[in-house]
Copies of this chain bind each other. A is one copy, B any other.
Amino acid sequence: LVTLKDIAEKAGVSVMTVSRVINGHYSKVSKEKTEAIQKIIRESGYVVNSTARSLSSKSSSIIAVLLQGKDGSLQDPYSAAMVNGIIKNVQARGYYLMIHDVDKYEEITSRLRSWNAEGAIFLGTYDKNMKKIQEDNQIPLIFTDSYSSLRQVTNVGIDDYKGGMLAAKCFLEHGHTSCAFVGYTPDTSLLVQQRLEGFRDTLRQAGAELPDEHIIDLNKDPTPGKTISSFSEPVTAIFTTADIAAMQVMTQLKDLGYQIPRDYSIIGFDDLSISSYASPKLTTIHQDIAQKAKIACDILFKHINSPNMPAENICMDVCLCERQSVYDLRKEKE
Protein backbone atom coordinates (compact mmCIF):
# COMPACT_ATOMS: atom_id res chain seq x y z
CA LEU A 1 0.00 0.00 0.00
CA VAL A 2 1.52 3.27 -1.14
CA THR A 3 0.80 6.31 1.00
CA LEU A 4 1.45 10.00 0.75
CA LYS A 5 4.31 9.52 3.17
CA ASP A 6 6.03 6.99 0.90
CA ILE A 7 5.84 9.35 -2.01
CA ALA A 8 7.02 12.27 0.08
CA GLU A 9 10.07 10.34 1.19
CA LYS A 10 10.91 9.24 -2.33
CA ALA A 11 10.59 12.79 -3.58
CA GLY A 12 12.41 14.29 -0.64
CA VAL A 13 9.56 16.66 0.22
CA SER A 14 6.94 16.88 2.93
CA VAL A 15 3.64 15.08 2.91
CA MET A 16 1.88 18.40 2.45
CA THR A 17 3.63 19.12 -0.80
CA VAL A 18 2.56 15.79 -2.19
CA SER A 19 -0.96 16.36 -0.95
CA ARG A 20 -1.06 19.66 -2.79
CA VAL A 21 0.03 18.08 -6.05
CA ILE A 22 -2.51 15.30 -5.71
CA ASN A 23 -5.29 17.75 -5.13
CA GLY A 24 -4.25 19.86 -8.08
CA HIS A 25 -3.16 22.90 -6.10
CA TYR A 26 -0.36 23.46 -8.54
CA SER A 27 -0.10 27.17 -7.95
CA LYS A 28 1.23 26.42 -4.51
CA VAL A 29 4.04 24.08 -5.56
CA SER A 30 7.09 24.78 -7.67
CA LYS A 31 6.98 23.40 -11.15
CA GLU A 32 9.99 21.12 -10.74
CA LYS A 33 8.67 19.53 -7.59
CA THR A 34 5.23 19.12 -9.09
CA GLU A 35 6.61 17.23 -12.03
CA ALA A 36 8.96 15.09 -9.99
CA ILE A 37 6.13 14.18 -7.63
CA GLN A 38 3.72 13.43 -10.44
CA LYS A 39 6.22 11.07 -11.94
CA ILE A 40 6.63 9.18 -8.70
CA ILE A 41 2.87 9.02 -8.24
CA ARG A 42 2.43 7.55 -11.68
CA GLU A 43 5.17 4.99 -11.24
CA SER A 44 4.07 3.89 -7.82
CA GLY A 45 0.44 3.36 -8.77
CA TYR A 46 -0.68 5.51 -5.88
CA VAL A 47 -4.40 5.69 -5.15
CA VAL A 48 -5.79 8.16 -2.61
CA ASN A 49 -7.31 6.63 0.44
CA SER A 50 -10.80 8.09 0.24
CA THR A 51 -11.54 6.85 3.69
CA ALA A 52 -8.72 8.93 5.21
CA ARG A 53 -9.53 11.89 3.05
CA SER A 54 -13.15 11.72 4.06
CA LEU A 55 -12.30 11.55 7.72
CA SER A 56 -9.99 14.52 7.77
CA SER A 57 -11.71 16.73 5.24
CA LYS A 58 -15.23 15.96 6.40
CA SER A 59 -16.41 15.48 2.87
CA SER A 60 -16.88 11.99 1.58
CA SER A 61 -17.67 12.37 -2.12
CA ILE A 62 -20.35 9.78 -1.52
CA ILE A 63 -23.85 10.12 -2.90
CA ALA A 64 -26.47 7.74 -1.60
CA VAL A 65 -29.37 6.32 -3.54
CA LEU A 66 -32.16 5.10 -1.33
CA LEU A 67 -34.24 2.27 -2.73
CA GLN A 68 -37.41 1.13 -1.14
CA GLY A 69 -38.50 -2.45 -0.98
CA LYS A 70 -41.90 -1.99 -2.46
CA ASP A 71 -42.07 0.48 -5.31
CA GLY A 72 -38.44 1.48 -5.55
CA SER A 73 -36.72 -1.82 -6.04
CA LEU A 74 -34.38 -2.45 -8.93
CA GLN A 75 -36.77 -5.16 -10.06
CA ASP A 76 -38.83 -2.30 -11.35
CA PRO A 77 -37.43 -1.29 -14.75
CA TYR A 78 -38.27 2.34 -14.02
CA SER A 79 -36.05 2.37 -10.94
CA ALA A 80 -33.30 0.51 -12.76
CA ALA A 81 -33.32 3.15 -15.48
CA MET A 82 -33.20 5.93 -12.88
CA VAL A 83 -30.29 4.39 -10.99
CA ASN A 84 -28.51 3.79 -14.25
CA GLY A 85 -28.74 7.47 -15.07
CA ILE A 86 -27.80 8.54 -11.56
CA ILE A 87 -24.63 6.44 -11.51
CA LYS A 88 -23.35 8.03 -14.68
CA ASN A 89 -24.11 11.56 -13.55
CA VAL A 90 -22.58 11.02 -10.13
CA GLN A 91 -19.43 9.45 -11.50
CA ALA A 92 -19.04 12.16 -14.09
CA ARG A 93 -18.64 14.57 -11.21
CA GLY A 94 -16.01 12.47 -9.49
CA TYR A 95 -18.34 11.24 -6.79
CA TYR A 96 -19.09 7.71 -5.66
CA LEU A 97 -22.44 6.02 -5.42
CA MET A 98 -23.60 3.95 -2.50
CA ILE A 99 -26.90 2.21 -2.86
CA HIS A 100 -29.13 1.35 0.06
CA ASP A 101 -32.21 -0.78 0.13
CA VAL A 102 -34.23 0.39 3.13
CA ASP A 103 -37.59 -0.42 4.52
CA LYS A 104 -37.49 0.93 8.06
CA TYR A 105 -37.24 4.65 8.49
CA GLU A 106 -34.46 4.48 11.08
CA GLU A 107 -32.10 2.80 8.67
CA ILE A 108 -32.03 5.81 6.44
CA THR A 109 -30.37 8.15 8.86
CA SER A 110 -27.83 5.68 10.11
CA ARG A 111 -26.86 4.64 6.61
CA LEU A 112 -26.49 8.21 5.47
CA ARG A 113 -24.59 9.37 8.53
CA SER A 114 -22.36 6.39 8.88
CA TRP A 115 -20.63 7.15 5.61
CA ASN A 116 -21.12 10.85 5.85
CA ALA A 117 -22.95 10.94 2.53
CA GLU A 118 -22.90 14.37 0.95
CA GLY A 119 -26.31 14.00 -0.59
CA ALA A 120 -29.04 11.49 -1.26
CA ILE A 121 -31.60 10.70 -3.91
CA PHE A 122 -34.74 8.84 -2.90
CA LEU A 123 -36.55 6.42 -5.18
CA GLY A 124 -39.94 5.26 -4.07
CA THR A 125 -42.42 6.64 -1.58
CA TYR A 126 -41.34 8.18 1.69
CA ASP A 127 -44.19 10.63 2.15
CA LYS A 128 -44.92 9.79 5.76
CA ASN A 129 -41.39 10.01 7.07
CA MET A 130 -40.17 12.84 4.95
CA LYS A 131 -40.22 15.49 7.61
CA LYS A 132 -38.26 13.36 10.02
CA ILE A 133 -35.79 12.36 7.34
CA GLN A 134 -35.15 15.98 6.56
CA GLU A 135 -34.76 16.98 10.18
CA ASP A 136 -32.29 14.23 10.92
CA ASN A 137 -30.20 14.66 7.81
CA GLN A 138 -28.82 18.08 7.15
CA ILE A 139 -27.50 17.27 3.73
CA PRO A 140 -29.10 17.88 0.33
CA LEU A 141 -31.93 15.40 -0.11
CA ILE A 142 -33.63 14.91 -3.45
CA PHE A 143 -36.95 13.14 -3.51
CA THR A 144 -38.50 11.85 -6.69
CA ASP A 145 -42.17 11.53 -7.56
CA SER A 146 -43.12 12.64 -4.11
CA TYR A 147 -46.36 14.37 -3.16
CA SER A 148 -45.57 15.36 0.36
CA SER A 149 -47.51 18.28 1.73
CA LEU A 150 -44.31 19.72 3.13
CA ARG A 151 -43.34 22.99 1.54
CA GLN A 152 -39.59 22.69 1.93
CA VAL A 153 -38.87 19.61 -0.08
CA THR A 154 -36.73 19.31 -3.14
CA ASN A 155 -38.51 17.01 -5.47
CA VAL A 156 -38.14 15.94 -9.08
CA GLY A 157 -41.36 14.62 -10.43
CA ILE A 158 -43.58 14.61 -13.43
CA ASP A 159 -47.01 15.94 -14.19
CA ASP A 160 -48.86 12.85 -13.09
CA TYR A 161 -52.24 14.56 -13.23
CA LYS A 162 -51.64 15.52 -16.83
CA GLY A 163 -50.63 11.93 -17.53
CA GLY A 164 -54.04 10.79 -16.36
CA MET A 165 -55.66 13.56 -18.36
CA LEU A 166 -53.89 12.59 -21.56
CA ALA A 167 -54.91 8.99 -21.16
CA ALA A 168 -58.54 9.98 -20.64
CA LYS A 169 -58.48 12.35 -23.59
CA CYS A 170 -57.05 9.67 -25.81
CA PHE A 171 -59.74 7.22 -24.81
CA LEU A 172 -62.48 9.81 -25.26
CA GLU A 173 -61.21 10.83 -28.66
CA HIS A 174 -61.38 7.23 -29.71
CA GLY A 175 -64.94 6.92 -28.50
CA HIS A 176 -64.37 5.18 -25.17
CA THR A 177 -66.54 6.24 -22.27
CA SER A 178 -66.58 3.16 -20.08
CA CYS A 179 -63.15 2.87 -18.52
CA ALA A 180 -61.23 1.13 -15.77
CA PHE A 181 -58.14 2.13 -13.83
CA VAL A 182 -55.46 -0.30 -12.67
CA GLY A 183 -52.60 0.66 -10.38
CA TYR A 184 -50.64 -0.18 -7.29
CA THR A 185 -52.27 1.09 -4.08
CA PRO A 186 -54.45 3.86 -5.49
CA ASP A 187 -55.80 4.52 -1.97
CA THR A 188 -52.44 5.31 -0.41
CA SER A 189 -50.00 6.40 -3.10
CA LEU A 190 -50.39 10.08 -3.77
CA LEU A 191 -48.65 9.70 -7.08
CA VAL A 192 -51.13 7.08 -8.23
CA GLN A 193 -53.96 9.23 -6.93
CA GLN A 194 -52.80 12.11 -9.11
CA ARG A 195 -52.84 9.94 -12.17
CA LEU A 196 -56.21 8.61 -11.20
CA GLU A 197 -57.67 12.04 -10.57
CA GLY A 198 -56.40 13.45 -13.84
CA PHE A 199 -57.97 10.48 -15.53
CA ARG A 200 -61.27 10.59 -13.68
CA ASP A 201 -61.72 14.37 -13.81
CA THR A 202 -61.19 14.44 -17.53
CA LEU A 203 -63.63 11.62 -18.11
CA ARG A 204 -66.17 13.30 -15.89
CA GLN A 205 -65.90 16.58 -17.76
CA ALA A 206 -66.90 14.66 -20.84
CA GLY A 207 -69.81 13.10 -19.02
CA ALA A 208 -68.17 9.75 -18.51
CA GLU A 209 -68.08 8.51 -14.94
CA LEU A 210 -65.40 6.20 -13.57
CA PRO A 211 -67.18 4.16 -10.88
CA ASP A 212 -65.18 3.18 -7.80
CA GLU A 213 -65.55 -0.50 -8.64
CA HIS A 214 -63.62 0.18 -11.82
CA ILE A 215 -60.58 1.26 -9.83
CA ILE A 216 -58.44 -1.77 -9.20
CA ASP A 217 -55.58 -2.09 -6.74
CA LEU A 218 -53.01 -4.46 -8.20
CA ASN A 219 -51.78 -5.25 -4.73
CA LYS A 220 -55.13 -6.61 -3.73
CA ASP A 221 -56.23 -8.03 -7.04
CA PRO A 222 -53.53 -9.80 -9.02
CA THR A 223 -55.88 -10.62 -11.87
CA PRO A 224 -57.45 -7.35 -12.95
CA GLY A 225 -57.97 -8.73 -16.43
CA LYS A 226 -60.39 -11.29 -15.11
CA THR A 227 -62.07 -8.77 -12.85
CA ILE A 228 -62.57 -6.23 -15.60
CA SER A 229 -63.97 -8.74 -18.04
CA SER A 230 -66.57 -9.74 -15.47
CA PHE A 231 -67.93 -6.25 -14.85
CA SER A 232 -71.67 -6.01 -15.37
CA GLU A 233 -71.29 -2.66 -17.07
CA PRO A 234 -68.84 -3.55 -19.83
CA VAL A 235 -65.57 -1.65 -19.99
CA THR A 236 -63.78 -0.91 -23.22
CA ALA A 237 -60.69 0.97 -22.08
CA ILE A 238 -58.14 0.43 -19.31
CA PHE A 239 -55.62 2.94 -18.00
CA THR A 240 -52.73 1.48 -16.10
CA THR A 241 -50.11 3.28 -13.97
CA ALA A 242 -47.13 1.36 -15.31
CA ASP A 243 -46.17 -0.26 -18.57
CA ILE A 244 -45.38 -3.48 -16.79
CA ALA A 245 -48.84 -3.57 -15.29
CA ALA A 246 -50.34 -2.79 -18.68
CA MET A 247 -48.53 -5.72 -20.22
CA GLN A 248 -49.69 -7.93 -17.40
CA VAL A 249 -53.33 -6.95 -17.87
CA MET A 250 -53.02 -7.31 -21.61
CA THR A 251 -51.67 -10.82 -21.25
CA GLN A 252 -54.42 -11.77 -18.84
CA LEU A 253 -57.10 -10.54 -21.19
CA LYS A 254 -55.58 -12.27 -24.16
CA ASP A 255 -55.44 -15.48 -22.15
CA LEU A 256 -59.15 -15.10 -21.54
CA GLY A 257 -59.65 -15.02 -25.28
CA TYR A 258 -60.11 -11.31 -25.79
CA GLN A 259 -58.49 -9.37 -28.55
CA ILE A 260 -56.45 -6.27 -27.82
CA PRO A 261 -57.24 -3.58 -28.73
CA ARG A 262 -60.43 -4.84 -30.43
CA ASP A 263 -62.11 -5.81 -27.16
CA TYR A 264 -60.12 -3.76 -24.70
CA SER A 265 -58.02 -0.68 -25.28
CA ILE A 266 -55.07 -0.15 -22.95
CA ILE A 267 -52.80 2.76 -22.06
CA GLY A 268 -49.69 2.34 -19.93
CA PHE A 269 -47.38 4.72 -18.12
CA ASP A 270 -43.62 5.37 -18.36
CA ASP A 271 -42.83 4.39 -21.93
CA LEU A 272 -40.16 1.87 -21.07
CA SER A 273 -38.31 0.48 -24.05
CA ILE A 274 -40.08 -2.84 -23.62
CA SER A 275 -43.47 -1.26 -24.18
CA SER A 276 -42.81 -1.20 -27.89
CA TYR A 277 -42.17 -4.94 -27.76
CA ALA A 278 -45.62 -5.58 -26.38
CA SER A 279 -48.19 -6.87 -28.78
CA PRO A 280 -50.01 -4.77 -29.76
CA LYS A 281 -47.40 -2.10 -29.18
CA LEU A 282 -48.39 -0.22 -26.11
CA THR A 283 -49.82 3.27 -26.23
CA THR A 284 -48.48 4.91 -23.12
CA ILE A 285 -47.72 8.11 -21.23
CA HIS A 286 -44.11 8.95 -21.91
CA GLN A 287 -41.71 10.32 -19.32
CA ASP A 288 -38.03 11.00 -19.96
CA ILE A 289 -36.26 8.95 -17.33
CA ALA A 290 -32.69 9.71 -18.39
CA GLN A 291 -33.46 13.39 -18.24
CA LYS A 292 -35.13 12.98 -14.88
CA ALA A 293 -32.03 11.31 -13.46
CA LYS A 294 -29.88 14.09 -14.87
CA ILE A 295 -32.03 16.83 -13.39
CA ALA A 296 -32.09 15.13 -10.00
CA CYS A 297 -28.29 14.99 -10.02
CA ASP A 298 -27.90 18.54 -11.30
CA ILE A 299 -30.01 19.87 -8.47
CA LEU A 300 -28.31 17.67 -5.94
CA PHE A 301 -24.87 18.97 -6.83
CA LYS A 302 -26.11 22.51 -7.02
CA HIS A 303 -27.23 22.14 -3.43
CA ILE A 304 -24.01 20.42 -2.40
CA ASN A 305 -21.90 23.17 -3.89
CA SER A 306 -23.98 25.98 -2.49
CA PRO A 307 -25.73 25.09 0.73
CA ASN A 308 -28.77 27.05 1.78
CA MET A 309 -30.19 26.99 -1.71
CA PRO A 310 -33.96 27.07 -1.55
CA ALA A 311 -35.85 23.82 -1.99
CA GLU A 312 -37.19 23.39 -5.49
CA ASN A 313 -39.96 21.34 -6.89
CA ILE A 314 -39.40 20.29 -10.48
CA CYS A 315 -42.31 19.04 -12.49
CA MET A 316 -41.36 17.53 -15.79
CA ASP A 317 -43.76 17.28 -18.67
CA VAL A 318 -45.25 14.07 -19.97
CA CYS A 319 -46.80 13.31 -23.32
CA LEU A 320 -48.89 10.66 -24.95
CA CYS A 321 -47.00 8.16 -27.02
CA GLU A 322 -49.52 6.65 -29.38
CA ARG A 323 -48.89 3.16 -30.60
CA GLN A 324 -51.39 0.41 -31.22
CA SER A 325 -53.20 -0.51 -28.04
CA VAL A 326 -56.10 1.91 -28.34
CA TYR A 327 -58.92 0.99 -30.66
CA ASP A 328 -61.00 3.60 -32.43
CA LEU A 329 -64.62 2.86 -31.59
CA ARG A 330 -65.89 5.67 -33.78
CA LYS A 331 -64.76 3.86 -36.89
CA GLU A 332 -67.32 1.21 -36.16
CA LYS A 333 -70.17 3.58 -35.87
CA GLU A 334 -69.49 5.39 -39.08
A residues with CB within 8 A of B: 45, 47-52, 54-55, 60, 67, 73-75, 77, 80-81, 83-84, 87-88, 91, 96-101, 109-111, 113-116, 136, 244, 247-248, 250-251, 254, 274, 276-279, 281
Contacts and interface: CB of A to CB of B under 8 A. Distances in A.
A329 B310 CA distance: 67
A80 B244 CA distance: 15
A110 B47 contact: yes
B84 A75 contact: yes
A88 B73 CA distance: 10
Contact of A87 (B74, B81, B277): B74
Given A75-B81, A98-B98, A279-B254, A51 B116 contact: yes
Contacts of A116: 49, 51
A84 B91 contact: no
B97 A47 contact: no
Contacts of A281: 251
A311 B120 CA distance: 37
12 contacts: A47-B113, A50-B115, A51-B51, A51-B115, A73-B84, A74-B74, A77-B80, A96-B100, A98-B99, A248-B277, A251-B276, A254-B279
Given A274-B274, A277-B278, A100 B110 contact: no
Contacts of A77: 77, 80
A93 to B, nearest CB: 13
Contact of A80 (B80, B101, B109, B136): B80
